[in-house]
Structure 1
Amino acid sequence: MSLKKTFAEDLTEGKFSYPIVRAINDYPDDNQVMNILSQHTSNSSLKLYCVKHLLELGALEQTVLKLAKLEERCSQLIVKYGNNPLLSEVIQKLTDLHRTPDGHLRFITPRDLNYDSLDHNEISIASDHIDPIPK
């Protein structure tokens, strides 16, 4: 089992991740995401196209917003049930995935995708182009 994840691995594995489900549910007449998902492709160019399409459909933005809502709900429950420091630390580590160090939501845009590594089946996300939205 590999611990290293590759770019858009859910597409290769045919997994219905939250952004994919959002795109399919919100745009039932748009078959592009489902068609790519069903191919289990490892083609980086095709996966990049799909990620850009998910961005255009707003599925990745909706995913970040959902994560922020879940983060808030978890924080409320932690307070309600006694402020467990270990659980708070776990939630904070998860929060770091969708927030910038100064607390803004981390929204990825097409310009954030690094196309240089297409041949290596890994594409990095630039962190210097983040559209900040306050916490």
Structure 2
Amino acid sequence: AYMSPEQRVDPRNAGPESDVYGVGATLYILVTGRRPFDLAVAHQDPSVHERVPQPLRDIVRKSTMPRPADRYRTAREMGAAVAKVLGEIDPAFEVETAMDEFALDGSDTIVAPHTQTESNEDKDD
């Protein structure tokens, strides 16, 4: 999950547009294979977007705008935009190479040891 700019200032500022920002940041990862540490910079870096179809770029950009008023108002509104764009995207579009690298990096993955816990059925009453 990614925190919207308004939440960083004050968590009480969170609203539907904050959720849209988080989904947009996640979508950014999915289509670029990069982490959205600074979306303001990423919006201006053409190399990040050169392989991403324009309609999808527009959705990512609108959903991750710094001001909540400039984003989709609700997840439903964003979902409708995504549904419309899905039919317009060339099926050959993929970010397999970038995503494979991102997924296999594993630097942020910590595997905790697992200990077996007793289930309620195993307990003697």
Give the TM-score taking structure 2 as reference length: 0.29
Give the TM-score taking structure 1 as reference length: 0.28
Q: Which has the larger radius of gyration?
A: 2
